[in-house]
């Protein structure tokens, strides 16, 4: 089988940090090739070289067995390489249709709009995605934006298709449908490279697998048939990882109550419709649902960045009417947002500044007139060690961290204090096996300390792993609640049924 994409002896550094050290990789035409590794292992950096975003400091890149120089995204597109990034490359104030025309328009704007609209419809129907081409990107949920990216790359005619955590925000059914479609593309002769942390996807859909750790290639090109989950996990993290089971405790007093919440999206469509929820101290409540069913708007209301049209919002016994972010924080609600670079981090500020920014009012690090930078620096260094934030120093700009390490920084900050309610929206999105385990244990520990944890996630494995009560959101309504252990098939049915 001919090689589609190959790296030989690739090195890449950012300042003093080495992201890739003598990395090698090869994927063949007609296969689904999984690329695994911990956060900061170099997977995305390697594939960003293939997509033209980075240039290697040293090493060789080949496409179809021929050495090439990929000096930008357009060159990558010309070579037939398309990448769907973990952090989306979309213009938020443009529509889905306009974004795709901007990337792949030909023959004039109006003709391109007509042609691309039909392509969006055809590909959406083929894959099973429901995307409104006239919807503005900043009104879409995370999963809807990801679907837009997938459609954009497919319309671009990519023959080498690289997907960075493509199922992170999809349901089981959607994930299976997408992965099945990727297998069909591979059978048609395309090369599919799947960056994923979900081992079951490797064993169910990958022909071969490569593992990276610390910027180096640890194992390359093995068939998953020759591996076990335990062996693959050990290759990824250097040691086997197990997720311990949660110890359930009886619910305590109610600390968060939502009654009859009604909210519209920016486009005027209903996001939440008579939504009700009751959250008790000391519990982990997992809210499952297909992306785009109101989870994003619910999180924004709880964070104080979106107004509700009607309904009752009671936090720590205090009725609230469209409160500000500072007000909900003052009442004990902290948040790990899904969009970490929008709501969780200031990318141009240092790791140190981001680590303590929500704790300055407490007086722990001084006053508004004077801050103890030495104490802040010490606290940040300890957080980096404790949370294993790779590639970070207190002075490092937050935007230079990989996606997983950026999430670890947000988690370290939000879990540092004592909270009444902790909102965790897709907290392990893009994280590796060991990091996921650490996050889950941290959420459980918060609950055992009396915090009410509200987990919003499209990953049913995550919901089932740590929740002692599970709710299902569909079309903006709470359509079912289950005490753990719950029936996965019943929850899955409620997630995709029309109500």
Please report whether residue 184 resides in a domain: yes
Please report whether residue 29 resides in a domain: yes
Specify the pLDDT at position 331: 92
Burial of residue 308 (number of CB atoms within 10 Å: 0-12, 13-18, 19+):
buried
Please state, as a whole number, how many other Cβ atoms lie within 10 Å of the Cβ of residue 36: 29
Digit-coded pLDDT (tens) for 202-212: 999 999 999 99
Enter the tokens of residue 172. 């089981």
Please report whether residue 468 resides in a domain: yes
Specify the pLDDT at position 485: 83
Same structural domain, 219 and 136: yes
Last residue of a domain, one of 178, 206, 237: 237
CATH of the domain at 272: 3.40.50.300
Specify the pLDDT at position 240: 40
Same structural domain, 268 and 191: no
Please report whether residue 278 resides in a domain: yes
Specify the pLDDT at position 285: 95
Number of domains in the chain: 2
Specify the pLDDT at position 442: 84
Please report whether residue 424 resides in a domain: yes
Specify the pLDDT at position 177: 80
Same structural domain, 380 and 269: yes
Same structural domain, 315 and 426: yes
Burial of residue 275 (number of CB atoms within 10 Å: 0-12, 13-18, 19+):
buried
Same structural domain, 485 and 349: yes
Digit-coded pLDDT (tens) for 258-299: 999 999 887 777 899 999 999 999 999 999 987 778 999 999
Same structural domain, 233 and 261: no
For the whole model, what pTM was predicted?
0.60
Same structural domain, 28 and 177: yes
Same structural domain, 72 and 210: yes
Same structural domain, 490 and 444: yes
Same structural domain, 225 and 370: no
Q: What is the 3-state secondary structure (H, E, C) of the chain?
A: CCEEEEEEEEEEEECCEEEEEEEEEEEECCCEEEEEECCCCCHHHHHHHHCCCCCCCEEEEEECCEECCCCCHHHHHHCCEEEECCCCCCCCCCEHHHHHHHHHCCCCHHHHHHHHHHHHHHHHHHHCCCCCCCCEHHHCCHHHHHHHHHHHHHHCCCCEEEEECCCCCCCHHHHHHHHHHHHHHHHCCCEEEEECCCHHHHHHHCCEEEEEECCEEEEEEECHHHCCHHHHHHHHHCCCCCCCCCCCCCCCCEEEEEEEEEEECCCCCEEEEEEEEEEECCCEEEEECCCCCCHHHHHHHHHCCCCCCEEEEEECCEEECCCCHHHHHHCCEEEECCCHHHHHCCCCCEHHHHHHHHHHHHCCCECCCCECHHHHHHHHHHHHHHHCCCCCCCCCEHHHCCHHHHHHHHHHHHCCCCCCEEEEECCCCCCCHHHHHHHHHHHHHHHHCCCEEEEEECCHHHHHHHCCEEEEEECCEEEEEEECCCCHHHHHHHHHCCC
Same structural domain, 16 and 80: yes
- Asked if residue 197 lies in contact with residue 432, where contact means CB atoms within 8 angstroms, the answer is yes
Please report whether residue 248 resides in a domain: no
Please report whether residue 113 resides in a domain: yes
Last residue of a domain, one of 191, 211, 237: 237
Last residue of a domain, one of 205, 237, 269: 237
Specify the pLDDT at position 430: 67
Parent domain of 452: 254-496
Ranges of the chain whose pLDDT falls below 70: 39-40, 105-107, 168-171, 237-251, 368, 430, 496-499
Please report whether residue 124 resides in a domain: yes
Same structural domain, 420 and 331: yes
């Amino acid at each position: 089988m001919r090689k589609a994409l190959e790296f030989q002896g690739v090195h890449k550094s950012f300042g003093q940090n080495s992201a890739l050290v003598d990395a090698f990789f090869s994927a063949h035409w007609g296969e689904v090739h999984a690329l695994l590794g911990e956060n900061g292992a170099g997977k995305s950096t390697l594939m960003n070289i293939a997509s033209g975003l980075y240039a290697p400091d040293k090493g060789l890149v080949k496409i179809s067995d021929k050495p090439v120089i990929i000096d930008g995204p357009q060159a990558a597109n010309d070579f037939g390489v398309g990448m769907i990034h973990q952090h989306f490359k979309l213009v938020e104030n443009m529509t889905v249709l306009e974004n795709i025309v901007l990337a792949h328009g030909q023959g004039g704007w109006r003709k391109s709009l007509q042609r691309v609209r039909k392509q969006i419809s055809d590909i959406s129907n083929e894959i099973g995605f429901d995307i409104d081409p006239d919807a503005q990107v900043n009104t879409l949920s995370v999963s809807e934006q990801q679907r837009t990216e997938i459609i954009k790359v497919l319309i671009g005619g990519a023959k080498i298709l690289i997907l960075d955590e493509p199922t992170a925000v999809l349901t089981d059914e959607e994930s299976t449908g997408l992965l099945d479609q990727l297998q069909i593309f591979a059978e048609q002769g395309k090369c599919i490279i799947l960056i994923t942390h979900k081992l079951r996807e490797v064993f169910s859909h990958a022909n071969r697998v490569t593992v990276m750790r610390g910027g180096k290639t640890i194992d390359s090109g093995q068939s998953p048939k020759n591996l076990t989950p335990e062996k693959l996990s050990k290759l990824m993290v250097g040691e086997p990882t197990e997720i311990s089971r949660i110890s359930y405790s009886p619910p305590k007093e109610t600390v968060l109550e939502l009654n009859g919440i009604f909210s519209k999206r920016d486009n005027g469509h209903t996001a939440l419709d008579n939504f009700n929820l009751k959250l008790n101290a000391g519990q982990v409540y997992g809210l499952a649902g297909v992306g785009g069913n109101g989870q994003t708007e619910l999180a924004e209301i709880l964070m104080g960045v979106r107004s509700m049209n009607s309904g009752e919002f009671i936090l720590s016994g205090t009725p609230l009417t469209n409160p500000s972010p500072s007000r909900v924080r003052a009442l004990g609600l902290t948040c790990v947002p899904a969009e970490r670079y929008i709501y969780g981090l200031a990318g141009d500020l240092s790791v140190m500044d981001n680590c303590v920014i929500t704790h300055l009012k407490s007086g722990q690090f001084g006053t508004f007139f004077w801050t103890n930078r030495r104490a802040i620096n010490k606290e940040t260094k300890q957080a980096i060690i404790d949370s294993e934030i790779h590639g970070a120093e207190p002075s490092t700009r937050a935007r230079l961290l990989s996606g997983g390490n950026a999430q670890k920084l947000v988690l370290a900050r939000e879990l540092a204090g004592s909270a009444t309610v902790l909102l965790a929206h897709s907290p392990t999105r893009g994280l590796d096996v060991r990091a996921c385990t650490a996050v889950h244990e941290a959420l459980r520990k918060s609950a055992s300390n009396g915090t009410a944890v509200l987990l919003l996630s499209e990953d049913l494995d995550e919901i089932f792993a740590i929740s002692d009560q599970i709710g299902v959101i569909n079309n903006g309504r709470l359509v079912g609640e289950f005490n753990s252990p719950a029936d996965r098939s019943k929850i899955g049915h409620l997630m995709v049924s029309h109500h």
